[in-house]
Amino acid sequence: MKFSHFILMVCVLPSSLKAQNKATITISNNSVLDRKETVAAIKWKDIVASYPQIDTANFTIINSKTKKQIPFQLEHKGQSTIQNLLVQIDIKAKSSLQLFIQKGKPEKFISKTFARFVPERLDDFAWENDKIAFRTYGKALEKTEGDAYGFDVWVKRTSKLVLNDRYKRNDYHIDHGDGLDYYHVGYTLGAGNMAPFVKDTIRYSGNYHRWKILDNGPLRTTFQLIYDSWNAGGIKVQAIKTISIDAGSQLNRIENVYTFDDKKPLPVVVGIIRREKAGVILLNEQQGIMGYWEPTFEKEGTTAVATILSTPAKKMWVDKEQLLTLTSVKNNEPIVYYSGAAWDKAGQITNSKQWQDYLDHFNQELQNPFIINVKDTSITKK
């Protein structure tokens, strides 16, 4: 009897040992800037290398300090396989944050980014995050009285997603408490669109004709706009624009690929429409930052717009219609820049100095990316 009891004990002990598989992500901010509401991307291959048993439908990300779950997203970039794990975090300057990946049921987090094709409004394509919203114009609007070439801004003063409600209401030029569309684009580049600049002339394309959503929230939305070929001052050009918007950011990341039959680089400009009344203009060629604090409209408030290049700015200037930054691209090679907007009635950026500070801070963040390390921290518990 004692012997059989001993055998039972031997059999039970191994089954009482539970292996808790998990990995630890260390995100280091070595800059002198505090980083708030920042979306960080961790390569999925690094996650799998440290946590090969991970179940993509049954894991959580835990903040090591608060012990609470944080929002995350599996980014595909239009691929069938996962490319990155996205997390939204705050990190003080010269400090690090540890996140634990472990098995468990993730909480339901509110989506903070969204984009969609809007066929009911003449083929608009619209996108937003918890700070600001944008749209561009499609094929159905071409060559009509209401056509426009640039990016449009929909200002908002709520963290909620508003696009669907505004289109459903079909009354987005009036502020119903969450913002409105009072931004005028016309035949300009609007809020930071890009176009070829050949023989000292902006060579506008037609509107986008095809689109593709690569990821759609909750922390990052990415989509492509495809433009048919057009005559850019004697050069046949095609374009694909890949636009990403992150939760918490006032600016989009825009990656353009121009295809053209020329060995020479193609000159291109990024533009911001200028208003008749005076505003505050920022032209920083050295840093590639072009900013505009628009004149205030009595009822609607003030919109701020900006672009930041990742390639050298050859020239910046202001003409009667637009603020312009000149750079160049090579055939079939991507060019990356950032453009976006803010609204003073949202209550976070309320004057031109704060807008300039935001842009400087954003640019410094680009120059000082996070250092990310993933390691296996599986433990065995009794």
What is the per-residue DSSP string for 138-189? BGGGTTSTT---SBEEEEESSSS--HHHHHHHT-TTS-SSSEE-----SSS-
Q: Does pLDDT of 166 surpass 60?
A: yes
Q: Does pLDDT of 7 surpass 90?
A: no
- Report percent pLDDT > 90 for the chain: 91
What number is the average pLDDT over the span 138-163?
A: 95
Res. 90 pLDDT band, cuts 50 70 90: very high
Q: How far apart are CA 174 and CA 39, in angstroms?
A: 32
Q: Is the peptide bond before 218 cis (omega within 30 degrees of 0)?
A: yes
Q: Does pLDDT of 21 surpass 70?
A: no
**Cα Rg of the chain, angstroms:** 24
Name residue, tokens 């950011």. 249
65 conformational bin, left if phi > 0, alpha if psi -120 to 50, beta if neither? alpha
Q: How far apart are CA 215 and CA 173, in angstroms?
A: 29
Res. 179 pLDDT band, cuts 50 70 90: very high
Q: Does pLDDT of 302 surpass 80?
A: yes
Least confident range of 9-18, 61-70, 277-286: 9-18
The beta-strand segments (E) located in 236-321 are 236-246, 251-260, 266-273, 280-284, 289-293, 303-309, 315-318
Residue 278 CB neighbours (<10 A): 8
119 conformational bin, left if phi > 0, alpha if psi -120 to 50, beta if neither? alpha
- Report percent pLDDT > 70 for the chain: 93
Q: How far apart are CA 166 and CA 158, in angstroms?
A: 13
Helices (H), the chain: 2-15, 44-50, 163-169, 352-367
**pLDDT on residue 379:** 61
* Average pLDDT of the residues of the chain: 93
Q: Does pLDDT of 4 surpass 50?
A: no
What pTM, to 2 d.p., does this model score? 0.93
Whether 224 contacts 242, CB under 8 Å: yes
Res. 14 pLDDT band, cuts 50 70 90: very low
What number is the average pLDDT over the span 247-276?
A: 97
In order of their start, the domains of the chain are 20-107+370-381 (2.60.40.1180), 113-350 (2.70.98)
Q: Does pLDDT of 146 surpass 90?
A: no
